[in-house]
Amino acid sequence: MLKKLMFFIKIGYKILKKDVIDSEDYRKEYNSVSKTYDLWLNEMGRFTDEIINFDYVNKDKKLKILDFACGTGYITKKLLEKNIYCEITSVDYSEEMLNQLKSVTDDGVNIVHSDGIEFLKSTDEKYDIIYFGWALSYFKYDEVFRLFKEVLREDGIVCIITNVKGTLYKIEDIFLNVMSKNQREVKKPMDISFNLPRGKDGLIKWFNKYGFKEIEVKEDEVVFYFETPEEVLQWINKTGAAAGTAQIFKNYNKIKDKLIDEIKKEKYNNGKYEINHRFAYGIFKIK
């Protein structure tokens, strides 16, 4: 018990000192899942589609759109299908994710390889719409929402879909248990609870704090079922659902079996292994 307590004190100290998983680590992991990320999009893209909504903007003018943390460009590609008169800037820090977007040859799409925060700080452009799909957990919400307001036009909107608290139920506990039992294999921790709001009400609260008013906001949950614990871990690894966790350990392959053992204990329910994804999505406008 004392050993475990000391471990968590040590982890807490590292988090306070910011000696944790960072944007470079996330970039590496998304590079590695870039070719399998469609597993996620094929299942969750239908919810992302709901924020691609032009009811709240002036469609009679050329729209300047920012697809922020665009990944493989799912939103960018969907926007092009809408035949809206627009110019799209698609930004992501993973070069391999962006390579999946480079098949798009539309002259109205500008693909930018950049750290998201650095891009927002340096751009001189003003946008009518910012799309922000599934990436809020990798940013400090107070910083990114403040910067969104700076780069939006006066009547601009943010269309967002994000995981919320309660997603990937018990996965945090699984990783923490493995970390505490294999302390010498821990390279650096991450805040596995992520930067996630408490449901749609929490998301509204965060946006309101930085001068945005909600137009429409929903929340939902999808549960996936698997036959084996190995399939659960494979889903997490191939979709980037818990991106960054592999970077916690010095040798992730050495730890995999231990993670599987914990999944066996924690995720078995009624003959299946479960993974849940809880999320909120909606549209916010500058007040």
CA angle 174, 180, 182 (to 5 degrees): 100
Burial 79-96 (b: 16+ CB within 10 A, else e): bbeeebebbbbbbbbbeb
- Which residue(s) pair with 46 in the sheet? none
pLDDT tens for 112-161 read 999 999 999 999 999 999 999 999 999 999 999 999 999 999 999 999 99
Cα(109)–Cα(66) distance, rounded to whole angstroms? Answer: 10
pLDDT tens for 96-116 read 999 999 888 788 999 999 999
Enumerate residues 6+ apart whose C-beta is below 8 A from 175: 192, 242, 245, 248, 259
Which one is the CATH code of 2-286: 3.40.50.150, 3.40.50.880, 3.40.190.10, 3.50.50.60?
Answer: 3.40.50.150
Cα(29)–Cα(241) distance, rounded to whole angstroms? Answer: 11
% the chain with pLDDT above 70: 93
User: How far is residue 52 from each of residues 143, 181, 213, 229, measured CA to CA in Å?
Assistant: 24, 45, 18, 35
Looking at residue 163, what DSSP letter applies? E
- What global pTM score does this model have? 0.94
Domain ranges of the chain: 2-286
Of the candidates 134, 153, 121, the residue with the CA atom closest to the CA atom of residue 285: 153
DSSP assignments along 185-211, one per residue? GB-----TT-S--SHHHHHHHHHHHTT
